[in-house]
Amino acid sequence: MVYMPMAYIYGKKFVGPITPTILALRDELYNKPYSEINWNMARSSCAKEDLVYPPSRMQNIVLACLHKFVEPMLSWWPFNKLRKSALSSLMDHIHYEDENSNYVGLCPINKVLNMICCWIEDPNSYAFKRHLPRIHDFLWISEDGMKAKVYVGCQSWETSLIAQAFCSTKLAKEFAPVLRKAHGFLKAAQVTQNFPTYNSYYRERSKGAWTLSNGENGWPIADTTAEAIKALLLLSKYSPSLVGDPIEEQRLYDAVDCLLSYVNKDGTLSSAECKRTTPWVEILNPSESFRNIIVDYPYVECTSSLVQALILFRNSYPEYRCEEIEECIKKGTLFIEKQQRTDGSWYGTWGVCFTYASFFATKGLVAAGRTYENSVTIRKACSFLLAKQLSSGGWGENYLGCETEDYVDSGSPHVVNSAWAMLALLYAGQVERDPTPMYHAAKELINLQTETGEFPQQGNCWKLQFVSLFQL
C-alpha cells in the first residue's frame, strides 16, 4: 500500500514546481547543497541509526541491475507502453483504496502519497479535493508542537479492551453509563459491507469485521475483530437496561464468519490478512529499518485473541459452525505452545514485545483449559516472568528487543509491562501458589499512580490495561 504510490511517483518521473518553500526544505533536509548530491550514490546510503537490517549482496546486485539496465529500457518504445499500462493499473488501485477508505487510507504514509498521486494525475480532481480535509485526521498538537499519528486511531481496539476491563471489575452497575456508550460505539463501528469486487484488488473480506479505529477507513484488523467479539459477548451478559441492547445475532455471526475467514490453514491468525505466500519473498523487501514486512505472519497474540474469542462465542452459541470453531481452538492452542521459547517466553510484534506476548499467550492457554498444574508451558512462562521481575517489584523492557528479537531489560519498571506481567501471572494462578511477587508488583503500580488516578506516560504506554488489575 505504501510502495504503490511511491512506484507511481517514480514511474511518472514527476517534479513539482520549485517554490521558495521547496528550496527551504532542501536546505533543511540535506547535509550538503542539493546541487552537489550524487543521487546514484544516495540510492544505497542510509543513516547508521536506521540501518538495522542491511540489504544482502544479492539484493544490491539485483537493484543495481534494475537501475542501470532495466530502468533505461522502460523509457524506450515499445517498453514505455508497459510502463504506461502499469501506471494506469497503479492509479486504479490507488483510487480503489481512497474511495473505500473514505480518503483516510491505511496509514498516514500511503494517505499522503496517494493524495500526491491524485494531484499529479489532476490537481483539480474530485479525488484530490476529497483528500485534503482528511489530513486533519492524523494531526494533533502535543506539548512540543504538531505531531502526526502513525495510524488514524485505535478506538475500536482500545474500547474493546476497556469494556473487557470494566467487565472484569464486577462494577458494571457503577459504570453503566460508560459501558452503554462503549457498547453503542462498538456496534456502530462494525464494518457491515464488503468492498466491491474486493478479490480483484487482493483484499480480504471485511463484512462483520472491526477496524483498528472507528470503522471509517474500512481496513479490517483480525485481532481487533476478535477483541470486539469478546467485548460484545461479555456485555451481552448484562441487562439491556444497564448497557443497552446486545448486538443483533446475525451481525455477531457475520463477525465470527469474518474472523474465521482470516484463519490460516494451521489454525493461526495474522494481523490484517491470511498468510498468502512463503517467507522467501522477503528477499524483495527493500526496507533497511524493518524486516519480515512482506508476509503477514501468524502471531502469538493474534492467535490468542482468536482462541479466546472463539471459546467465548462457543459457550454462548454452541451450535454455530461448531466443528470449525473446535478445530481452530485446538490448532491455535497448539501453535501458541509450539511458539514458546526455551526460556519460557514468547516473542511478540510490538516494541515492548516479550511481556506483551507472554501475557496474551498465557491468557489464551488458560482460556483453552491449560493450568499451572497440567501444563509445562504455563509453568515455564511463569518462571520466565518471575525471573525478569525487578527488585522494585515491577517489570520493564527496552524497545530494542523488537529489533533483536530477544528480551532486553530496560533496568527500570514500566507500568504497562508490569500490568501485562501481573495479568499473566494472575491468570496462571500465581496468587494461590505464592502471592509475594504479586504483592510487590501491586505496590509498585500503586506507587506509580498519580493523584488524578492516571499512570505516567512511559514510552509506549497503554493505560487501559491497568483497569484489568482491579480484579486483584
Domain boundary among 148, 173, 194: 148
Specify burial of residue 2 (Cβ count, 10 A radius: 0-12, 13-18, 19+).
middle
Q: Can you give the pLDDT at residue 221?
A: 94
Instruction: Dump pLDDT digits (tens) for 285-322.
Output: 888 888 788 888 999 999 999 999 999 999 999 999 99
Domain boundary among 112, 129, 148: 148
Judgement on whether residues 314 and 461 belong to the same structural domain of the protein: yes
Residue 94 pLDDT exceeds 80: yes
Judgement on whether residues 189 and 134 belong to the same structural domain of the protein: no
254 is a catalytic site residue: no
Instruction: Dump pLDDT digits (tens) for 100-151.
Output: 999 999 999 999 999 999 999 999 999 999 999 999 999 989 888 998 888 8
For residue 142, the enclosing domain spans 2-148
Q: Can you give the pLDDT at residue 44?
A: 80
Among 137, 223, 254, 296, the active-site one is: 223
The pTM of this model reads 0.91
**In sequence order, what DSSP letters do the residues of 103-130 get, joined into one string?**
T--SSHHHHHHHHHHHHHH-TT-HHHHH
Judgement on whether residues 184 and 47 belong to the same structural domain of the protein: no
Instruction: Dump pLDDT digits (tens) for 357-412.
Output: 999 999 999 999 999 999 999 999 999 999 999 999 999 988 788 778 889 888 88
Residue 253 burial (CB count, 10 A): 15
Assess if residue 214 is contained within a domain: yes
Question: For the ranges 43-57, 111-125, 250-264, 325-339, which has the lowest average pLDDT?
Answer: 43-57
Judgement on whether residues 127 and 172 belong to the same structural domain of the protein: no
Query: Considering its fold, how many domains does the chain have in total?
Result: 2
Judgement on whether residues 239 and 300 belong to the same structural domain of the protein: yes
Angle at 155 between CA 154 and CA 160, to 5 degrees: 105
Rg over alpha carbons for the chain, rounded to the nearest Å, is 25
Domain of 239, CATH number, reads: 1.50.10.20
Computed over every residue of the chain, the mean pLDDT equals: 91
